[in-house]
Amino acid sequence: MATRKKLGYAIAFVTALVGLFDVLSAFYIGAQPGRLSLLSRFVDKEVQYGTRTATAMAGFILMAIAWRLALRKREAWSIAVWTVTITGMTHLAKGLDVEDAVISFVLLGILIAARKDFTVRSDPFAWDYILFVGPFALLFILGYTLLGFWLFRNEFVPPGFGLTQALSEGINLLTWGSPRLYRAASERALWFLRSLHWIGPAALFYVLWVVTRPVRHAHERTLRDEQYVSALVRLYGWSPVSYFALMPDKRFFFNSSEEVVIPYTLIGNIPLALGDPIGPPERINSALCDWVSTCASNDWLPAFYQTTDRFLDDYHSHGLLLLKIGEDAVIDLREWTLSGKRKQDLRTALNKGKRLGWSFVMYEDAVPDTEIQEEIRRISEEWLAGRSELAFSMGGTHIDGDPEERLSVAFDAEGAVLGFLTWAPVYARRGWSLDFMRRRPDAPNGLMEYLITQSLLRFQDMGYEMVSLGMAPLANISDGQNDFPMLAKALSLVYEKTSSVYAYKSLQAFKAKFLPQWEDRYLVYCSNLAVPQVLYAVVRAHVRDVSLVSMVLGEMSSPQRVVKALMDALAQQRSKVRPPTDEEE
C-alpha cells in the first residue's frame, strides 16, 4: 500500500510539472520561424491560436487534477489520460512542437502503465449533478458575459455592443485568450475583461472537484440487513451503545464473511462508526482490515466514536490512531449495594421519595395509559425547549415504552409524572444503558437519584448483571492511550478550566455517587490531520440540523458555542444526563 501511495504522489508531481510546462508553452510565442512558416501552409492562424488556447486549458486541467492523482483516483486518471492525449496533438498543431508532444506522450505512457494502481472511487452521482447544474451555470456565465459587454459598451475601444462580437470575445477570454476585439478604455471595463479570465478556471476547477470528490452515498440498508444486524447485536452487543446501531441514521458495513457489522453514518467523506465492530471478537481484526480497505477505495477517512478498550491493538495494527474522550460509568449489579457511607445520597433520595409519597414504575412494554403517555411527551417537549434532539449515540429508545427497552417513571403523591428514564439493552453483558433522562421543571431535587437507584434495584431483582450510566466526558484523558498528545492536553485543560461553563466535573461527580467502575472510551481516527473533519462529523452526526455555515454565522456564532456543540455531542449531555444542581450535589 505504501509503495502504491508513493507511486501516486510521483505521478501526480510529474503530471503537475507537465501541466505547468504546457501552460508556459502555450503562452510562449515560439522561436521556431521555420516550423511556424511550414505549419502556416497547412493550418490557418485562427486554428493555431485556438490550439494554443486548448494547450493552456489542458495545462491548467493537469495541474488541477494532479492532487487527485496523488490520491489514486480512478476518474482523475481518466481525465488525465484524455487531457494528455489532446495536448500531444495540440502541441503539433500550434507550432509543430515535437519535443513538447513527446513529453505529453511519455506521460501518457506512464499513466497507461500505472492504470491498475488508480483504484480509488469517486462519487458515482457526481456526473448526474454536473449534468443537472451545468445548464444553469452556463446560463449564468452567458448572462454575465453579455450583460457586462452591454453595460460597459461605451467604455471599450471601439465603443458599442454587438451580440456576435460579445459572444466571440467572451469565449476567447473565458478560455484564457487575450482580448482581440475589445480594448478597455476605463478601469471598470478592464476589471470586467479580467474577471472573465477567472470565471473559466473557477468553473473548471469546480467541475474537476465535483467529479473526483469522495463517494458521498452509503449503501442503502435493507430489511434483511436490519434483521441480521439485530441478531448480531443480540449475540455480540457488548458496548453500551451497540443497541443504537439499529437507529435509522446508521448504514451497515459487513466484512467479507458477513460475521461482523460496522454501523456508521456518512458525514462528507467521514464514515463515523458507532462503538466497536459488532461480531465474534476473533473476527474483529479481519473486519477492520476489510473496512479500512473499503474506506481507502471510497476516498473515505474512517473514524470510530466511543469505542471501548477491547480492540485497541487491532485499531493500531491497521494504522488507526486513538484519543481518549472520557470514561463510561458502569455498575456491576452482581456486587452493587446501597450500604456504605458513600451511598448516603442515594439512601437520602429514596427516603425523600417515600416521605413525599412518590411511586416508581418500570414499564416493560408500551405504556398502556394514554394520559401517562401524554404527560411523558409534554415533559420531553418542555425539556427540549430551545435545544436540538441529539442522535447517533443516543435517543434511540422510545419514551412511551417498548418491549425491547425499559421505561422508568416516577409519580408524585397525586399520580402525576415527575420524570422518567429510558434504558437500552446491552444484550451481550446482560445489562442496560441509560438513554433519556428527563424531569418536570418543577420536580424536587433528588428525583434523578431516586429514579436511577430504584431502577438499579429493580434490575438487580430481575437478575441483570450491569448498567451503564453513560460517558463522563473528558474524564481522566491522560490515563488512556493518546496518539495526539497536544489535543489530549487541550481537552484536559477544557475539563479543568471550564467546569463552571460545561459542568463536566459536576456530571462526573453525579455519576460517581453510584460508585461505578469507570471504563475508557475512545475516538479512533485515521490521521491527526483529519481530526478537525472528524470532530465536525461528530457534531453533525449528533445534531443533524447543524452545518458549518450555521456554526459560524447562525446560532453558534461565537467560538464558545462552537466548542459547546462539540462537547455536548461528546458528553451526550443535552438529552441524556442532566448535570446536578448545587443543591443536588
Of the listed ranges 4-13, 95-104, 157-166, 283-292, the one predicted with least confidence: 95-104
Amino acid 486: pLDDT: 85
Residue 579 placed within a domain: no
At residue 55, the pLDDT reads: 82
Look at residue 384 in the predicted model and tell me its pLDDT: 84
Residue 218 inside a domain? The answer is no
- Can you name the residues that pair with 360 across neighbouring β-strands? 410
**Rounded average pLDDT over 525-533:** 93
CA distances from 212 to 11, 66, 74, 93, 568 (A): 17, 11, 8, 30, 34
Query: What is the crossing angle of helices 187-211 and 163-174, to 10°?
Result: 60
Quick: pLDDT tens for 348-378. Answer: 999 999 999 999 999 999 999 999 999 999 9
Residue 37 pLDDT class (50, 70, 90 cuts): low
At residue 442, does pLDDT exceed 80?
A: yes
Query: What's the pLDDT at 205?
Result: 82
Residue 521 resides in a domain: no
Q: Is residue 505 part of a domain?
A: yes
**Does 422 lie in the same domain as 541?**
yes
What's the average model confidence in pLDDT over 109-124? 88
pLDDT at 558 over 50: no
User: Are residues 204 and 235 part of one domain?
Assistant: no
What average pLDDT does this structure show over 410-437?
A: 96
Which residues are bridge partners to 423 per DSSP? 406, 434
Sheet containing strand 359-363, strands side by side? 251-254, 261-267, 270-274, 303-307, 517-525, 321-332, 466-473, 431-439, 417-426, 406-411, 359-363
Q: How confident is the model at residue 31 (pLDDT cuts 50, 70, 90)?
A: very low
The residue assigned the cell 489542458 is 58
**Within this chain, do residues 31 and 130 fall inside the same structural domain, yes or no?**
no
Phi-psi region of 269 (alpha: psi -120 to 50; beta: other; left: phi over 0): alpha
Q: Compare 424 and 386 and report the one with higher pLDDT.
A: 424
Q: What is the pLDDT of residue 573?
A: 41
Least Cα distance to 109 among 17, 16, 22, 11 occurs for 11
CA torsion sign for 223, 228, 231, 237 is negative
pLDDT digits (tens, 9 = 90+) for 7-24: 888 999 999 999 988 888
**The pLDDT of residue 106:** 93
| Residue 253: per-residue pLDDT | 96
CATH code of residue 106: 1.20.120
Lowest mean pLDDT among 16-20, 94-98, 260-264, 289-293: 94-98
Q: Are residues 351 and 462 in the same domain?
A: yes
| Residue 25 shares a structural domain with residue 35 | yes
Out of 327, 347, 382, pick the residue that ends a domain.
327
349, 283: one domain: no
Q: What angle do CA 236, 240, 246 make, to 5 degrees?
A: 70
**pLDDT higher at 132 or 523:** 523
Q: Which helix (H) or strand (E) holds 521?
A: strand 517-525
Residue 392: DSSP 8-state: S
DSSP symbol at 246: G
State the residue for C-alpha cell 456518512: 266
273 φ, ψ (degrees, to nearest 5): -85, 150
Share of the chain above pLDDT 70, in %: 86
How confident is the model over 443-460, as a mean pLDDT?
96
Same domain for 371 and 287, yes or no, is no
Q: Which of 88, 117, 146 is the last residue of a domain?
A: 117
Tell me the pLDDT band of 110, cut-offs 50, 70 and 90: very high
More confident residue, 96 or 462: 462
Least confident of 53-62, 311-320, 467-476, 572-581: 572-581
**Are residues 288 and 359 both part of a single domain?**
no
Please give the residue range of the domain that contains residue 96.
Answer: 2-117
For residues 451 and 497, membership in a common domain is answered with yes
CA distances from 348 to 411, 487, 507, 510, 513 (A): 18, 40, 19, 14, 12
Tell me the per-residue pLDDT of 78-92, one tens digit each, with 9 for 90 and over.
999 999 998 888 877
Model pLDDT, residue 2 = 64
State residue 160's pLDDT score: 87
Q: Is residue 246 part of a domain?
A: yes
Cα gap 475→494, rounded to integer Å: 11
- 333 and 262 in a common domain: no
Residue 294 has pLDDT above 80, yes or no: yes
In whole numbers, what is the pLDDT of the chain averaged over residues? 85
Q: Which of 71-85, 330-344, 566-580 has the lowest mean pLDDT?
A: 566-580
pLDDT at residue 227 tops 90: yes
- Among 327, 344, 370, residue at a domain's last position: 327
Compare 460 and 53 and report the one with higher pLDDT.
460
What pLDDT is attached to residue 555?
Answer: 43
Does residue 179 carry a pLDDT above 70? Answer: yes
Tell me what pLDDT residue 42 has.
54
Residue type, 427: Y
Q: 10 Å Cβ neighbour count for 552? A: 11
Give the C-alpha separation, 231 to 223, whole Å: 13
C-alpha cell at 196: 472573465
Q: Dihedral (C-alpha) 366, 372, 378, 383: value to the nearest 10 degrees?
A: -70
Do 178 and 310 sit in the same domain of this protein?
no
The residues that bridge with 557 in the sheet, in sequence order, are: none
Query: CA 262 to CA 254: how far, in whole Å?
Result: 7
pLDDT at position 497: 66
Whether 48 shows a pLDDT value over 90: the answer reads no
**Which has more pLDDT, 377 or 121?**
377
Question: pTM of the entire structure?
Answer: 0.80
- Judge contact between 455 and 408, C-beta under 8 A: yes
Q: Which whole number is the average pLDDT over 392-404?
A: 93
What's the mean pLDDT in 148-160?
A: 90
pLDDT tens readout for residues 479-494: 888 888 888 888 877 7
- Contact (Cβ atoms closer than 8 angstroms) between residue 262 and residue 531: no
**Residue 125: predicted pLDDT:** 81
Rounded to an integer, the average pLDDT of 112-134 is: 84
Weakest-pLDDT range from 7-11, 227-231, 260-264: 7-11
Predicted local distance difference test score (pLDDT) of residue 38? 52
What pLDDT is recorded for position 26? 73
Do 256 and 365 fall into the same domain?
A: no
Confidence check: pLDDT of 216 > 90: no
Q: Is residue 188 assigned to a domain?
A: yes
Which range has highest mean pLDDT (133-137, 434-438, 577-581)?
Answer: 434-438
- DSSP one-letter code for 574: T
What percentage of the chain exceeds 90 in pLDDT?
51
CA atoms lying within 13 Å on the CB side of residue 280 = 7
Residue 58 forms part of a structural domain = yes
Report if residue 320 sits inside a domain: yes
Contacts of 533 (CB under 8 A, 6+ apart): 268, 269, 270, 301
The number of distinct structural domains making up the chain is: 4
As a whole number, mean pLDDT of residues 435-442 equals: 93
**465: pLDDT confidence band, cut at 50, 70 and 90?**
very high
CA end-to-end span of the chain, whole Å? Answer: 54
CATH, residue 511: 3.40.630.30
326: cell is 472520557
pLDDT at 16 (0 to 100): 92
